[in-house]
Structure formats: C-alpha cells, structure tokens
Structure 1
Amino acid sequence: MLNHCKLPPACCKLPVTCCKLFLFILLVAPLALSAQQFGGNPSSLKWDQINTDTVRIIFPRGMVKEGQRVANIVQYLNHYTRSSIGNRQQKMSIVLQNQTLESNGYVQLGPFRSEFYLTPPPSSFDLGGLNWVDQLSLHEYRHALQNMNFRQGISKVFYYLGGELGQAAITNIAVPNWFWEGDAVVMETALSAEGRGRLPAFFDGFRGLTLSDKRYTYMKIRNGSYVDYIPNHYPLGYLMATYGREHYGQTFWKEVTTDAVRFRGLFYPFSHSLKKRTGKNVTGFYRAMLSEYAPIWKAYASRKDTTAAVPVGAPVKTVTNYNYVYPAGNNNWIVLKNSYRRIPGIYLLDSTGKETLLVRPGINFDNFFSYKNGKVVWAEARYDARWTWKDYTVIKMYDLSTGHTRKITPRNRYFSPDIAHNGQQLVATVTSPSLEYRLHVIDAQTGHLQKILPNPDNWYYTYPRFTADDQYVISAVRNQQGQMALVQQSITTGESTVLIPFSQTAYGAPVVSKDTLYFTAAIKDVNDVYAFTLSDKQLYQVTSRGNSALHVAVDPAINRLLFSEFSADGYTLRSTALNKDAWRGIVIGENQHSKWLRPDFKEGGDILGKIPAHTYAVKKYPKAYRLFNFHSWVPTLNDPEYSFTVYADNILNTAATNIGYTYNRNEGSSALSANFLYGAWFPYLSAGTEYTFNRSGLTNKGRVYWNELNWNAGFTIPLQLSSGLYGRSLSISSKYYYAITYPQSNFKFKDEGIQYISSSIVFNNQRIKARQHLFSHFGQTLQFKYTKSISAAPATQYYGRMDLYLPGLHTNHSLVLQGAWQQKDTLQRYLFSDNFSYARGYNTPFYEHIYKVGANYHFPIAYPDWGFAQLLYFMRVRGNLFYDYSMAYDFRSKASTRYASTGGELFFDTKIGNTIPFTFGMRFSHLLDKDPSDNTQNRVDFIIPLQQLFSY
C-alpha cells in the first residue's frame, strides 16, 4: 500500500521555497484531469493501431491512410528534427479523432498522449492551406518533443515526486505558454512550405496595435484584457521565438529552456536565462522584439500607393468585429457583428450608420454566413446527446421579409452554405468522417440533397459561391500538397476549371459580381482585395492597405467596395471607390512576401515531400488495453488531512482510476481508498471503496475507537443538449453506498452499518455570453437530489436548488436569483453530506427542513489591467449586492426561525504567474436576524476559491 513516498536524493537538496512551490503545484495539478473529453466516442466505434518504436497511432477503423501518414511524419520528425530542442526519447500515443467537426489538436501529460481532430478548419487565413493531417503532425509532435526534453533537473525531480502531472505543472510554470506554442508554430513553418509564420493574417493583431501606436506592457500581453484587444500567445510566441533564433542562433531556445526547466535561477528561471544570455530579461526581450518588427510594419503601411478607404458606421467604444459583409441595396449592408459586450448577431447597416439587429446565429464551428435577396443562411452546430466527440451541423435560413428563422437541413456535416440568387438552391461543403470532401447542392425549400458534385482529387472546398447565373460554383480549394487555387465547377456537368492555379497563397471567401470575381488573398505582406475577370482571365490588385483586409463586398449600383480590415479595435468596416482604372495588374504565381514573411530556420526546409511512405503493420487496438494506466501520484495537504493519490487514465480516455492514502491528524486515523470510473458505455459506471483505520471520538464513556468500511457503485448519464444560442446539459445519476463500522473495544454503535441510495438530476441551460459579461443574460441551473437509507437505520434527505440568470440594468450587469430547499429526517440516526447554500453570514442552524431565496446583483467596477513582479495580474474588479432570506424549522422546539442577511461582495479576477486564472474576494454580511449560535450582527469573510467559482 502507498502510505509514504521515498524522495530521490536530489529532492533533499531542494530549497524550502521550492518545496512549498511543489506543494502548491500539486494542489492545482489535479484540476487538469477534467480538461479533456471523457468517454466521448460511441461504443460502437472500432479502433486500429500502428505501433512503432517511437509512437503508437490509434485511429478509427478505416482511417489507415491517415494513420500511416501520421506515423511516417512522426518517425521522420523524431529522427531528423531534434537539433533545436534536444535528444531525449519517450514513446507516446496519438489518437486520431474523426467524429468531431472541431479543428484542433493537443498534447498532454497525465497521461502522455496527443489527440488530432481531423476535420480541417474552414478558413485558410487561420491556419493556412497545408494538408491538415500534415500540419497537426508537425505542430503537435513538436509539443511532444518539448515535453520529452523538459524532463531535466528540478523538473525531473517533480516528475519523480508527482509523476507526469508533477512534470506538467512545474514545466508550465518554468516555461511561458507563448514559448510552447511559438516554438511549435516555428516548426510547422520551418518544416513546410507554409505554416502560420508565412500567413499575413497571423500577425494582424500585433500589426494593428503597432499602427495604432499601442504598446502594451509585457504582463498585459501575457494575461489579456477585458477591454482592449490583445493578441493571443500564438503570434506572441512565434515573434519571440523567431527573434531569438535570428539573433542568437538555432539552439538558443534549447539552452534557455534547459536553464528554465532545471531552475537555474530559482525565481523567474526563464527570464533569468534570457538575461544571462542576451543581457535582457523577458520584458526587455519582448520590447526588443517589437522594436525590430514595428518599423517594418509601419514602413509597409506608409507606402505612397496605399489605397484610401473611409470607415463605415459609427466609432466603436469597445473591441468590435465586423465580418462577412454583403450589399443589401440602397447603400445598405448586411454584416456579422460581435464585440466584447455583445454576442454575435447579423445586422442591417443603413446609409446613415444605424445598425438594426436581424438575427443571432447559434453556436457554430465557423461564423460564415451568406446573404442574397432578403435571405440569410448559415450553419449551426448540433451535438450527439451522449457522445461528445460526435458533432453535426444544420443549415438555417432567416427571411428578412417575414422575420422568421427556419431549419433547412437535418443534422449533417455541412460548412459555409451559400444561397443561389434565385433562392431555390444552396451549396455547402461537407466533410465525411473518412475525410472525403464534397460540394452538396441542396433544395433551399425542403433541405433535400439534389446533387453531389464530383471531386476526384479530394480537394478541400472553402466558402463556395454561386456565380451570377447560378450555373456554376466558385470556391477556393486546397489540394493534398497544401496548395490553394480558385476553381469554378459546373453544377450541371460537375466539370471543374482552375481559374487561378495552385500555389502557396492563401485565399479567402470569393465574391462574384457580374463578370468579376473578388477575393482576399495573402499575396503580399498583408491580405488585400484582388479581382479576377472571368471573361479574359486577368488578375488585378484592388486594394493596397497597411493591415489585412478580409471579407469583401461589392455594390456596383453605388460604385463602392467594402471590406473588413483589422485594427486595434477589432475588424472595422472600410469603404473605397470601385475604380477599375486604378487597379494594378499582377502576374498569377507565387506570393510576393517580404523577407520577414519568408523565414529560413535552417531546420531542413520543406520536409513534407521527403517523408518516406513506409507501410506499417496495422493491428486491432483493444479498448481494454492498459485500462489502468498509472501516470501520476499527487500528495495533497488540507490540514488536518494529508493524502497521497495515484492517478490512472487510459489513452482512449474511457477509464479513470485513483488509489489513495489519507492521514487525519486530528483523529490519528488512516484511510485507504480506490475509485474507478468507466465511460465507454452509454452510462458512466463508477465504483469505489475506502477503509479507515483507528477512527476515534469522545463519548460519556471516554474515547472510543473503530474502523470503518465504505464502498459505493453507481451510474451517471451525461447528456449534451446544446443548440442555438444555448449550451444545455442534463445529468442523471444514482449511486448505492454501503458503510459499516467495526468497534475496536467493548462498545457497540446503535447502527453499525447503513446502506443508502443517492440519486440526482442536474439540468443546466445557459445562453452564450460575450467576453465582458459576468454571467449569462438568461440561464437556469436546476438540481434535485434524493438520498434514502435502505437498511434498518432510517435516514432520508431531500435537496433542491434553482439558479436563474437574468440581465441587469447595464449590458455587463447580471441579476442572479436563487431558491433552495432541503429536508432531512428527524431521527438523525445518520447524517448525509450537506450541500445546502445557507444565508450568508450565519453559522449552520439546526433544522428539520429549511428553504432559502436569494438575490444577487453583479456588476463590474474596474478593469485595472495591472500587475506586479510577473506574479499577480489584476484583470477585473467586480462587486455583488446580495439579499438572502431563509427559514428553518426546528422539530425539537416546533418553531421556525428566520435567517435573513444583506451585504456586499468584492471580487478580484486575476491571473497568478501570468498563467493560472484565480478569483478571490471578501464579503461583508449584515445579519437582519442575530445568529443564535453567537449573537453576531455583522460578519466579514474572505472568499478564496480554488477555481473560478462564484459562491452565493
């Protein structure tokens, strides 16, 4: 049994400060266990594997081609691309997910594995045109190599102390998140012909801040803001990593991160290593990086041939994005708008700048929409009720003339629908689980599939558009080699014609106006608007701007062209004259990027054409393989209890196990426990046991001792019911418990054993919220729990709670109403766990039944965007005014007692170490009825939750 832990000799040399840090990290580390989707794939899904000395690729049956490709790329990367990160080896598992429509991937420790979500991203400006399987392999395996090589020095000691979760916690503190992602983006750029480092749109954020002369502090860039636009850690990391490589050599970051994970320089080891090697700490290094790139961006924006364009609409007061604009006649426009204060909506923008909300699209995987002749169409996300990796979409249509929205298609896997000018047909891209890509032509009235257009080369279509006569579809496509082209395809014959040949240029959504095709493209240092005349096949540059233009619209009737351009305030609408005489003819071919967008990292160049095509053996992957996959062991101090827990999770994430030992200092007791959760079937199945030695307590006969056995088994059915603007979930669970005591001297308990069943229903319905919203503007959380003894010792408890979320008097205010009720039996032979939310300020009263109603009014106070010493950063200060009314019935006195209080709470939303979100605060409670237990009238409490929890 695990009742103590021998530390390796190196740990004895750890400074006291580092030991305290270790304890804090391991308190936080278990929170990461819930970050991934548990039991998300249908139980009917069969799995195969390719198992090499380097990697185990696990994939759904039928995905052999993708499995072989990933295996070959990873084998190559492992052998030939380690010079800038290190040579430490560790085998890992990669799971290929083909059921979800989300485009993503990750690598984790605890257990060490990766997952690739194989559906490609619809927009090429986000991640480029690379074959998605190739790009995932390049990027995510770099994360794997980082984790392998960061197990050194103190970080290796933490691995011995806490397993993989211990290593993950300490290395994420030692190495900033921007380096993890920036280094991976560097490698996807260095080892391919594209990658995000060659995409102009990837730098729009930093370029927009530079052109607006906004130079935020390093801490603000690291932590983000609720009021100002801040680029995320991907472009920050790429710029920092590239600057370091170009000035200090290819192995510079290997040396810096080695120092950091070894904690050479206990405090701020990463910054300490930078200072030692460059003379600049991390803040100075960030300023130096900006000083190098900012003049390049400003010089490009100040060119004499820059196209004049005027802002459209009223100035914004907060970060706001206008995307996918369409002409609606009479100088009116239809546009998608979202901001830090408002959730996305499709608006009518008239000639005076007035905005009228038309409709709000629901939750989606891609925010694209299409508009023609009074009809708006888009694709909304839908989810399998039980299997969280199984996603769908439905196409919806809004009619401006009636104001009604209706669903056009049943659940499918559609993206980017466009509606024909005649309103009778839709065209949409579809991605099958086997990664076959097609264009579907759909009846706009019935939603029935009319035609599947042929795609013999399996191009990936992005944003298809009908031509003016509705006889053809024009789309930007990606081929399997990672190149893009603009293609026209006949709806009648299915014949495809390449209009602009394949190259490494990224193309955006095309727009067809009469005989001219307009689109945005990454041909130069920013994305600009280009035009291609269909009659004579000529290509022209239409705009030349200082930052990227996306989503173009043309209205020949008023001779205007609109586009959304990125600025420090988000994507803004700009308008310019449709002056064809000013267009500049350009040669169709490769992009014309400046040197900074054509980096040479000397890592071997584009390797994707060099990857061998070995055929590895494919075998069945048993779902029960390594069901108990132990990876971490975490000590926890929560005085008076001290525990040590060993965690296990299988690679398919369908089984979770923990085995633990707990010592209670007050009692002198020890407990051994084991718990198991299995999620591969429709219900989650769980079982657990705990045996406690030497429990003790004082009685009128002196101190008595006993041992105690507890075990439980049950099920949970977690259901995902999200649709439209609402995230919804329903959880139904029931668990059987058995507890028995074993006296250790000559006495007996009245009840030496009890058996009981606890069942619960939890329903949650929350409208999506904007960045600045404290809570959903409309939502409900309902809970009901019933617990009853089924043994000779009677015991019963009922519990119910409802939280209602409503908008406040201001956009970012929230009114939260709460009601709760609990009742338990009066014999009190056995007391169940107490989850009741009592009136604030009072001690727990004695009662048979109790109810409470409460009101909370939450509001923001300030957005400091300030921190100190890279330790604590204050993002938001917010307040809450509350009133609680509770009535408790005491069956002994046969009287009800009122417990009412009012007061205020002050919360600070912060980040610790530029990494961990952390909310803390304080509460003042004024008791309208004195607390019977101590006659207190006023009380001050400090609120220090471990997670982003809000206590009412």
Structure 2
Amino acid sequence: MRFYIAAFLLLANLQLAAQQFGGNPSSLKWQQINTDTVRVIFPQGLGQTGERVANIVTYLNRYTRQSIGNKERKVSIVLQNQTMESNGYVALGPFRSEFYLTPPPTSFDLGSMNWAEQLSLHEYRHVLQNMNFRQGVSKVASWLGGELGQAAATNIAVPNWFWEGDAVTMETALSEQGRGRLPAFFDGFRALSLANKDYRYMKIRGGSYKDFTPDHYPLGYLMSVYGRDHFGTTFWKDVTRDAVRYRNVFYPMSRAMKRRTGMNVTSFYHTTINYYDSIWNAWAQRPEITPVRTVSPKEKVFTSYKYMYPAGNHDFVVLKGSWNKIPAFYLLHPDGAEQLLTYPGIVYDDYFSYRNNRIVWAAARFDARWSWKELSVIRVYDRNTGHTHTITARGKYFSPDINNDGSKIIATTVDPDGKYGLQLINAQTGDIEKVLPNPDNLYFANPRFNSREDGVIAATRDKHGRMALTEQSLATGTITNLSDFSFNTIGAPAIYGDTAYFTAGGKDVNNVYAMTLSDRKVYQVTDRPNSVLFAAPAQDSLLFSEFTDKGYKLFQSSLSASNWKPADLTVRSNSAWLNPEFHEGGNVLNKVPHDSLSVEKYRKTTGFFNFHSWVPTFNDPEYSINLLGNNVLNTTSTSIGYTYNSNEGTSDIGASFMYGGWFPWLGTGVDYTINKSGLTSKGQRVYWNQLSWHAGVTVPLNLSSGLYGRSLTFSSNYYIQQLYADGLRFRVNPQQYTSTALVFSNQRLRATQNIYSHFGQYLALQYNSSIGSLRGNQFYGRFDLSLPGLSKNHSLVLQAAYQRHDTLGNYSFTDRFVYARGYNIPFYNRIYKLGANYHFPLWYPDWGFAQILYIRRVRANAFFDYSRANDYIRKVDNYYRSTGGELYLDTKLGNTIPFTFGMRVSYLLDPDPVDNAKARVDFIIPLQQLFSY
C-alpha cells in the first residue's frame, strides 16, 4: 500500500514539474549533433558547445560505468541559452536532459569549472543512473506506467540524496574541481557539527521550518564517499541494484545497505556524520583560529546577513533575509538597531554593491511570453533621496559595482551565444559607454572599481575553470593577472586603498585573504572554523559574514597586517577529506577527444506526439488517468484519458493536444461524456451523453518584476457537442458555444515560513456563451485577496465568488464553483459567496515515523463563508452560512514528496436543504492551494 500511494503522488508531482512548456521564442533555430549515444539539441550558433558536450558524454558512456552499470539507452540533451539560471536536470517523461548554459555568477557554491563541461559530468551521471535503474520491479513499473512509472518506482526505491550525491561524486572524481572540493559545499553540515546539533536522519531528509538543515546534495555526497571509501567503488552499484529491483518491498535501499554493511540507512547516516564531525571539530579547535566579536543581533529564526559595506559613523549596509521576512537592504547601526532601506525583489544573484550612499544590484526581469527568455536590469537605490530607479534597459547583467560619484557602473554580462565580458555603463542615462575587450572569453565574477577608478578588479575564471584575481584597464582594455590561475575558488573582492581583500577556498573552509597591489603578495587574513562569504575592511577592523546553524552571521576581528600569514593560492592546502581517492580514473576532461561531429538542422516537429507515460492527476473536482505525450523541446503536449467529475458525477473519455511553439498556444480536443445531467422546469433530473470537440487559443504572460510574481493568462475556445439520450428531445442539437477565460495572479514574494503571500491577488473570470438561435450562457468569477495577519507568518485571505447561468435549460456547462464549506451543492441560477480565512501556524514538530511520514508544520485556518443562491423556480434566495476550522499537516511523504492533508469541521448556521445537517466533518487533501504562487 505504501508503494502505491507514494507512486501515485510522485507521478502527479513529476507531471506538475514539467519544465517551461513552449518557453523558447518561435524565431529560435535549432540544430543537432546526433550519434548512437546522444542527440545534443542546441540553438543555432552553439555548435562548438554542442560538440564538446557530445564528446564528453560519449566518453563517459564508454569509460566511466564501473560504479553504476552497463545498460544502454540513447538520451536527448537540450542546451538552453536564453535563461539566466545556472542549472540542469535529467528527467523521464520524456527521457531527456536540459542544460541551462549561463555559468554561476559566483564560484563558491557550484565551482568555477567550464559550466558546460561540469553539467556534462554531473547530468550524464543521472542519465546513467536512469539507464541502469530500470531493473526488476522498476522495469515492470515502466511497462505499466511508462517513463514516469519508472521514475516513480526508482525515486521511491532510491532516495534523492543518492541521486545527487553520486552525481556530485562523479563531477568531482572526473575533474580537477567539482563540488566535492569546494569548502562552502559543506558549510551546512559543518555548522551543525560546530553547534553540536545532531539531528535525526528523518529531519535531515525532511527539512524543517524552524531549524536549518542541509539539503540532499552535500548529504548524498558525504554518504556516497564514505560508502566508497569503506566498502569499495562498486558498493553503491550493488546497493541500488537491489533497491530498484525491490529485493525488499519495504525500505528497499535501507535493507540493501544493511545486507552489505550491517547498518540500515539511519545508522549509516550517523556513522558517516560522526566520521566527518571528528575532522571538522578538530579543525575548529586549533589555537590559530581567529578570535572574533559577534556583531549581528541575535535572532530567533534562521537569519542571514550577507554582503556588508561601511556606510560611515560605524554603520554598515547589509543584505538581510530570514525565514519569516523576505530579503531586504538594511542600515545596521553600532547598537544593533536596523533601518530598512529597500527591497531587491526577484534576483538571479543576491550580490550587491554600495558606495557613497548608493546601492546597486541586478534585478530579474522576464520576457512576457517566452518563459525561457530571462533578463535583468540594473537598479540603484539612493539613500539621499530614498528613491530606487532602474538604470539600464533589459539585458543579461550580473554583479554590478558603482563608482564613488555615482556616474559609472561596471557589470558582468553574459550573451546567449556564450560570450562573457564587462560593460561600462553611464549611471545617469543607462547608455553603454564601453564594452571592454575579452579575447580569451574570461568570466568576470564580482567586478569592482579599483581605488583610482581607472580599472576593474575581478575574480576571474578561464575556459578551463581556473581562477585568478585580475585587473582590467578601462582606458586600454588590457587585462593583467594579479595572481596565477588555479582551481582554488576566489570571489567577492573588496578594495581598500592599495589592498584587495577577497574570499578564497585555499584550505578546508573559505577565508578572507588580502593582496597588496603594489607587490601582488597574498596573505591569509582570517582562519575560521566555517566558511566566510564576504568581508568589509574598515579602518582597524574587519567585518565579515560566516555561516552558522542560524544563518550567515556578522563577526568582527582586528585588522592588523602583523597577524597576516603569507599564502599561495596556486596550490591546494586542503585536508585529505576534501580531495579523496575515488578510483574512477581521475580528470577525464583532458582525455576527452575533440572529434569533429556533424551538425544538422533539428526539426521542431521531431517526436511531435511522443507518448511516454500513464499518469493520474487531481484537480478537484476532476480526477483523471491519462496517457501523456511531449516532444523533447516541450512545445507539444498530448493527452488521452479518462476523467471523473465529482461535482457532476460524470465520466469523460477524451483526447487533447496543445502546441506551445507560437505566441498563442493552440489547442484542440475531443471528449465523450457519460451521465451528464440537468433539471427540467418541473424539477426532474434528466441524463444524457454527449460528444464534444473543441479548439482554441491560450496566451500565457509572465509579468513578474520587483517584489511580485505576476501572471496573466487569456484563453478562448470554441466547442461543438452532440447530445445523445433515449426518450429526450433537445431544443438544439448539436450545441455550439464559446468559452473565454482570464486568470490573473499577483503575489508578493514569500519568506520560507510564510503560509501565504503578505499581499496577493488572484482573479479568475470565465464566460460561456452559446452560438445559434437557442441561447445559453454561464458566467463565473472569483477574486482572492491575501493580506498580512497579526504575526509575521499569519495571513488573512478574503474570497469572493459569483456564478450565474441561464434558466432556459438548453445548455449545461461545467461547474467549477467552490461552494460554502459544509454544504451540499444547492439549486440555483445565480449564486455568490464571500469567505474569510485566517491562516496561522500552530507547531513545527519536525517529527516522523518509520521513514513514511514526516511532519514539518501543523497549521490552522479559521473560516467563515457567506453564500446566497437564487432559486428561480420558487423565486426565493437561500442562505448558506458556515463557520469552522481547518487543521493542516504539511508533511514529507517517504522523506521526499511534499504532501499536505488535514480535516475540516464546518458548523452550518443555515440548514442544508439536502440533508438538514447542522455540522459536517471532512478530510481534505488540498493538492491545489488557494493561490497559484
């Protein structure tokens, strides 16, 4: 039973996670490199990148299978060059991978490797996992449910920490860097160790709304490496083979581990963490640790202070964000008081710069129609006026810096064709004054004006992924290496006189380093137990942010050059645990051949239907089972299946098709509905079946900017339907009508603990109207408004809904009205409802049992519904008023799947005319929340 429930929910979850349907501009031309191993699909002009990806994954397929298996299956890899996110994924349904080609703006979290090469190493490991996990029960699941059936079975059998931990292991084992060699990658677990926090395995897996827990990437890597070191390179191949075959139906992965180690997954986790704890604690207890004074105020919830700058009078400008407040810029006073300045809003990179009362950052912008096309603008906040304004037109900017008089801005730019560089921008007009030359296509992270403002100092990475501190002249464009290139990550430079302070990963944690620019000597300034993110020198002290179990906290130390230690960042000074022996052949990027491969046109019609999975879905009141199809570019969506409508008691067999490659989505479909019903003028219910065909257009628009995620969707469809019934004559048959809808959502950003947005609106309007002499129509409208409650995590949600339909009886349109809670569906020709909801958290238990259900939050909602329905036959208005409460449990099912359920107690202030009930208890599974976030 546990397997089927989890598989059922995971299939729905995987379907809802479909990526960016119809997101690329229709003008984009696609090409491909098609071999027996891989089909790499990419926009025109990226042939060199596509060729490199194809060569790498072909090599990986041939020579790096020892620890995963030898099963073969060709995969499609799509290179996305329009997005500004640094990401990638592999998915089944359909089987493909997508690489988001924009490199990470900083190097501490993901590294500095050539981004396409790192994605190839990491994501192709997921490809090999999916190939080799199709065994036993998981293979049967693929026969029954298609690719998403296999995905459900394997994701239940193999926890997400292994999928990602094993991939991080391989990106580290097969390169000179990888996340396994980045000190900041382990900051979370190291912070828990230093704070003596020993959480249960279920809490680490399920997460928490009250305590910080690292995600499954470092968890999986630590367990992966520990297993390899102690039980052999093929240990995990053997364990996962047993798990996906379901050699044990219950806890297949844990049982497989226990057979080979004597430890189940919980014991294995604690053994792993205890091993690393001893290393981290020994590091933190060294006598040379830099003494500090805590500067940031003590907070009750997880709060981070990142990137701070001196602002005069011993004040600092900081970026502060917490789990109950969205990130904002604050002025931090010496006494700990904080003054809100402004909000950065939606960003791709939270880095910002400050100089002489001006804050500058890159804010996210989006193309209204094409969801893959992401952009940014440079924004400036002026403390003198209190105003924020946009400087530039839409582009692809990261990490801007502003000069002292506020006239110039320097920013990193990334072009869709893979070209990087720096642009000098006029801060008054937004005009690009100069595009600095970049013949070697270096990537400049966190550029800063030097003290003379005639050059730019940046943490720079080359095409091999090595990093150095460089300076580029604004006058001549000449690039000077201030340090030698190496695979040690560096970033976030701060220029103070003739010294450049920066953060680097030269040892087991990231620390502050300094370079005296006159002689280019490098010194280690701090020696801390956990990683430093950013440092701000100010007179005789150094302020820096360091990661703790409560977030990034501000610490202050003395700034005395006599305590600095000479450092050489061209060599690795890490402990052995940061550079383990993987027995996988070492760096392969230098071994991969540069074979010239044939580039061909890729037709957008390739795999137009491409059926891949059977999937159940819920969209109350409709429940469906569908055969799904999507092409690899995700511009087509096909569905054939069965739907049951619980409001109407109808069954529907239908097929639909949507094409999203043009500006409007074009859709069509056919349905045969059984057991439709309606009331005659005498109050008798009659039943019929109907055959329907429809076609229409949908225009989805993304209007997000600033603090708000906004969407506007307009759709219009034409329907023709033939009705069939014994002994019934319809006034019009076939029936024809149009259905037009508009949905608008505007939601302010939410913090982690916020249940709903503190200010948001949701508007849905739909009008159905007949075509022909016999008339019929229906109008539906709904408006939701969310407001802040009495506490930071409380929300007041007000609702209004209205629906009316004609009384002629010619047409019966689909009913999607949400009725007053506790009542049966009333008889009416028009109805409205007003609702008030007050949502608030009750408890963060962080408790679970048997690795099945883990409860992260218990929350409640007190509600009142007022509804009035007009009975046009009896010519009276009937009232439906109810009040009560709802209790929700926000959980993780199987430690993986977010799952909310609860119960509702409704007290009916007016009798229900159907059964005369006074109260009702319902169990609820809100698979769709009140708002679309």
Fold-level similarity (TM above 0.5): yes
Per-residue CA distance 1:92-116 (angstroms, 9 max, x = gap) = 1000000111111000000000000
In 1, the alpha carbon distance for the partners of 2:815 and 2:475 equals: 68
Unpaired runs of at least 5, structure 1: 1-16
Aligned-partner SS, 2:484: strand
Q: Classify 1:791/1:629 alpha carbon distance in 2 versus 1 (closer, same or farther; 3 Å).
A: same
Structure 1 residue aligned with 2:892: 911
How far the C-alpha of 1:691 sits from its partner, in A, is 3.4
Letter in 1 for 2:516: T
Within the alignment, does 1:857 sit opposite 2:861 as a pair? no
Deviation at 1:692, TM superposition (A): 5.5
Q: Deviations over 1:571-608 (max 9, x none)?
A: 00000011111111123521200000011201110111
Q: Distance in 1 between matches of 2:32 and 2:118?
A: 21
Partner SS for 1:329: coil
Secondary structure of the equivalent of 1:773? coil
Contact 1:641–1:665, Cα closer than 8 Å, also in 2: yes
TM-fit CA distance, 1:801: 0.9
Q: Which residue of 2 aligns with 1:143?
A: 126
Q: 1:829 aligns with which of 810, 829, 847?
A: 810
For the residue of structure 2 that corresponds to 1:731, the secondary structure is strand
Q: Check 1:418–1:47 CA distance in 2 against 1; reply closer, same or farther (3 A cut).
A: same
Please identify, of 383-392 and 790-799, the stretch whose mean Cα deviation from structure 2 is larger. 790-799
Quick one: structure 1 residues 617 and 900, their matched pair in 2 at CA, closer, same or farther if it must change by over 3 Å? same
Tell me the distance in 2 between the aligned counterparts of 1:233 and 1:459: 32
Q: Tell me, what secondary structure is at the counterpart of 2:59?
A: helix
State the match for 2:262 in structure 1. 279
1:899 matched to 2:908:
no
CA shift at 1:406, angstroms?
0.7
1:490 correspondence with 2:473:
yes
Judge conservation of contact 2:15–2:615 (CA < 8 Å) in 1.
no
Partner of 1:257: 240
Is contact 1:313–1:354 with CA below 8 Å preserved after alignment? Answer: no
Aligned mates of 2:151, 2:637 — CA distance in 1: 18
Letter in 2 for 1:815: L
| Corresponding residue for residue 615 of structure 1 | 596
**Which residue pairs with 2:908 in the alignment?**
927
Deviations 1:651-699 (A, max 9, x none): 0000011223579999999864221010000011110012358999999
Distance 1:753 1:31, change over 3 A: farther
Question: Which residue matches 2:702?
Answer: 720
Could you say what secondary structure the match of 1:371 adopts?
strand
2:83 to 72, 75, 100: 100
Alignment partner for residue 786 of structure 1, among 767, 785, 788? Answer: 767
Q: Distance in 1 between matches of 2:65 and 2:873?
A: 74
Cα pair 1:654 1:679 within 8 Å, conserved = yes
Equivalences for residues 438-837 of structure 1 within 5 A = 438-556=421-539, 559-634=540-615, 645-660=626-641, 672-691=653-672, 708-743=690-725, 748-837=729-818
Query: Which piece of structure 1 moves more, 896-905 or 702-711?
Result: 702-711
Match of 2:825 among 824, 835, 844: 844
CA RMSD of aligned residues (A): 2.4
Give the counterpart letter for 1:911 in structure 2.
Answer: K
Of 298, 301, 319, the match for 1:336: 319
Aligned partners of 2:520, 2:679: CA distance in 1, in Å? 93
Distance 1:278 1:28, change over 3 A: closer
Asked whether the equivalents of residues 506 and 569 of structure 2 are also in contact (C-alpha less than 8 Å), the reply is: no
Mapped contact 1:728–1:766 kept (Cα < 8 A): yes
Q: Distance in 2 between matches of 1:643 and 1:929?
A: 34
Change (3 A) 1:625 1:711: same
Alignment of 1:266-415 (within 5 A): 266-415=249-398
- Rounded to whole Å, the distance in 1 between the matches of 2:184 and 2:649 is 62
Contact 2:625 2:642 in 1 (8 A): yes
Question: How far apart, CA to CA, are the structure 2 residues paired with 1:562 and 1:293?
Answer: 29
Q: Report the CA distance shift for 1:682/1:667 in structure 2 as closer, same or farther (over 3 A).
A: closer
Equivalent residue in structure 2 for 1:132, among 108, 112, 115: 115
Query: Structure 1 384/671 Cα, relative in aligned 2: closer, same or farther at 3 Å?
Result: closer
Report if the CA contact (8 A) 2:702-2:711 is conserved: yes
* Cα pair distance change 1:672/1:860, threshold 3 Å: closer
Partner amino acid for 2:521? Q
Greater shift, 703-712 or 781-790, is seen at 703-712
Contact between 1:846 and 1:890, CA under 8 Å: does it hold in 2? yes
Q: Which moved more, 1:82-91 or 1:818-827?
A: 818-827
Deviation at 1:536, TM superposition (A): 1.6
Shift of the 448–829 alpha-carbon distance from structure 1 to 2, 3 Å rule, reads same
Q: Distance in 2 between matches of 1:663 and 1:511?
A: 62
In structure 1, how many angstroms separate the alpha carbons of the residues matched to 2:302 and 2:616? 44
Aligned pairs for 1:86-235 within 5 A? 86-235=69-218
Aligned residue type for 2:708: Y
Cα 1:669–1:352 change in 2 (3 A) is closer
Q: Is the 8 A contact 1:221 1:230 kept in 2?
A: yes
Change in 2 beyond 3 A, CA 1:751/1:382: same
Indicate the residue corresponding to 1:8 in structure 2: none
Identity percentage over the alignment?
A: 60
Task: Answer yes or no: is the 8 Å Cα contact 1:93–1:112 preserved in 2.
Answer: yes
Q: CA deviation at 1:336?
A: 0.3
Change (3 A) 1:231 1:360: same
Q: Is the 8 A contact 1:30 1:165 kept in 2?
A: no
Aligned residues: 929
For residue 533 of structure 2, what is the amino acid of its counterpart? L
- 1-side partners of 2:772 and 2:436: how far apart? 66
CA distance change for structure 1 residues 667 and 580 in 2, over 3 Å: closer, same or farther? Answer: closer
- Which deviations, in whole Å up to 9, do the C-alpha atoms of 1:890-921 show, x marking residues without a partner? 21222222221211111111111001111111
- C-alpha displacement of 1:934: 2.2
User: Residue 946 of structure 1: CA displacement?
Assistant: 3.6
| Segment of structure 1 superposing worse, 298-307 or 840-849 | 840-849
- Give the letter aligned to residue 583 of structure 1: W
Greater CA deviation, 176-185 or 931-940?
931-940
Q: Distance in 1 between matches of 2:620 and 2:698?
A: 31
* 8 Å Cα contact 1:441/1:449 also seen in 2: yes
The correspondence of residues 12-91 of structure 1 with structure 2, limited to 5 A, is: 17=1, 21-22=3-4, 25-26=7-8, 28-35=10-17, 36-91=19-74
Comparing 883-892 with 187-196, greater Cα deviation is found at 883-892
Distance, in Å, in 1 between the alignment partners of 2:114 and 2:650 is: 58
**Partner Cα distance (2:452, 2:593) in 1:** 46
Given that 2:362 and 2:376 are in contact with CA atoms closer than 8 Å, whether structure 1 keeps it comes out as: yes
CA contact (8 A) 2:12 2:616 kept: no
Q: 1:493 to 1:915 in 2, by over 3 A?
A: same
Paired with 2:217 and 2:748, the residues of 1 have a C-alpha distance of 29
Partners of 2:164 and 2:648 lie apart in 1 by 48
For the 8 Å contact 1:313–1:352, the answer to whether it is kept is no
CA distance in 2, matches of 1:443, 1:665: 61
Secondary structure of residue in 2 paired with 1:21: helix
Counterpart residue type for residue 498 of structure 1: N
How much has 1:396 moved relative to structure 2? Answer: 0.5
- Partner SS, residue 214 of structure 1: coil
- The C-alpha deviation readout for 1:486-541, integer Å capped at 9, x for no partner, is 00111111111101110010002101100001001000000010110011221111
Q: Return the letter of the residue paired with 1:730.
A: L
> Structure 1 counterpart of 2:706, which letter?
G
